[in-house]
Amino acid sequence: MASISLENVTKIFSGDVVAVDDVSLEISDGEFVVLVGPSGSGKSTILRMISGLEVPTDGTIKLDDEDITTAKPKERDLGMVFQNYALYPHLSARENISFGLRMRGGYSDEEIDERVTEAAEMMSMTDYLDHRPNELSGGQKQRVALGRALVRDSKAFLMDEPLSNLDAKLRTQMRTEIQQLQQRLDMTTIYVTHDQTEAMTMGDRIAILNHGELQQFGTPIEAYYRPNNVFVAGFIGSPSMNFIDVSVDHSGDGTSISHQKFEWEVPDHIADSIPSDETNATLGVRPEDLTVNDGDDPQIPVTVDVVEPLGKEQLLHFSLGNEMHIASITEHVLVSEGDEIRIGFDPEDVHLFDAE
């Protein structure tokens, strides 16, 4: 397998659509990296540039130390798996899997058979190797597409939303299968999804994109606990982080923040995340880090607008000023719509961002 690097890669489409804006990424040999972001954020364009289906307007792409920026797709030896499977409808699963090897030449029939059998066993699809795509379910088709990428000696795997056509249960199952396969074979993998849960659960590291710009590149834990900005903080985690506009006062010993309903001294290491002359900031706190009537400091008096029971937990919707917010708390706290409650949080659990 190989490492992949993007150095200051930009893609501008005809007209002036900046699909990818000065993105740099270093992906190590054997690493599973997920590109995640909303629709239109440039994920597929990055994958297509790595695969050779698009040529960057600017910047360099390397496979190990080799510059492949303008190399043709077939010169790159990369296995691709797409959302729509891209199988040949008139060929059986077995023929679809072996097609690339036959086209490339240099493999004996025995060797092709051996590789197909091995991939079929790995992907638990020996039972339907002689079926055509129209006789296969979505999950089976995606296994065939994965098998086809596996039998070639690919230097890396590129997967573009491979699970988005599958139902929720199968998606979770295939997610685990792909992860196990990736770890077992130590395959360098770049995986595109718009689903932050998929990104968080699958990636060794995740690259979070918005409007073609890389917002953060790190482990899922880093993105969750130390988001670089409001976009990452709001995108990672479900339900989304609550944001509250606050005023900042640096005139005392430390830094304090205030809102019409609360005032509070910020721990230094959290205050450090905004410039020391900034007078406005955005306070971020995750729904799961909020407490209700718990005596923690600070306490914010609010009225419960809506209670959404979800089983073990419940979501409380409340407003501060014009903004709606959510607290996720255990089912054991008895709260009803219209109740006056005090919302609290551990000061260590909050984030401060530059005001938008």
Under the rule (CB under 6 A), what is the footprint of ligand ADP? 13, 17, 19, 37, 39-45
Smallest distance, ligand ADP to C-beta of residue 313, A: 31
Beta carbon nearer to ligand ADP, 42 or 284: 42
The whole-angstrom distance between residue 254's C-alpha and the CA centroid of its chain comes to 36
Question: Which tokens in the block code for residue 145?
Answer: 């597409």
- What per-residue string of b and e applies to 305-328 under the rule 16 or more CB within 10 Å gives b? eebeeeeebbebbbebeeeebbbb
DSSP H helices in 206-332: 220-225, 230-235, 268-271
Write down the residue that tokens 């994109």 correspond to.
209
Smallest distance, ligand ADP to C-beta of residue 14, A: 6
Write down the residue that tokens 């339907």 correspond to.
128
Smallest distance, ligand ADP to C-beta of residue 42, A: 4
Write down the residue that tokens 């982080």 correspond to.
241
DSSP 136: S
**In angstroms, rounded to a whole number, what is the distance separating the alpha carbons of residues 321 and 300?**
12
Beta carbon nearer to ligand ADP, 199 or 304: 199
Beta carbon nearer to ligand ADP, 41 or 188: 41
Smallest distance, ligand ADP to C-beta of residue 11, A: 8
Question: Which tokens in the block code for residue 277?
Answer: 């002359």
Smallest distance, ligand ADP to C-beta of residue 284, A: 24
- Identify the three-state secondary structure at position 55: coil
Beta carbon nearer to ligand ADP, 55 or 306: 55
Beta carbon nearer to ligand ADP, 217 or 262: 217
Smallest distance, ligand ADP to C-beta of residue 81, A: 15
Task: Say which amino acid occupies 68.
Answer: I
Task: Say which amino acid occupies 155.
Answer: K
Beta carbon nearer to ligand ADP, 82 or 345: 82
Task: Say which amino acid occupies 293.
Answer: N
Beta carbon nearer to ligand ADP, 19 or 61: 19
Smallest distance, ligand ADP to C-beta of residue 241, A: 22
Contact 278, 339 (CB under 8 A): no
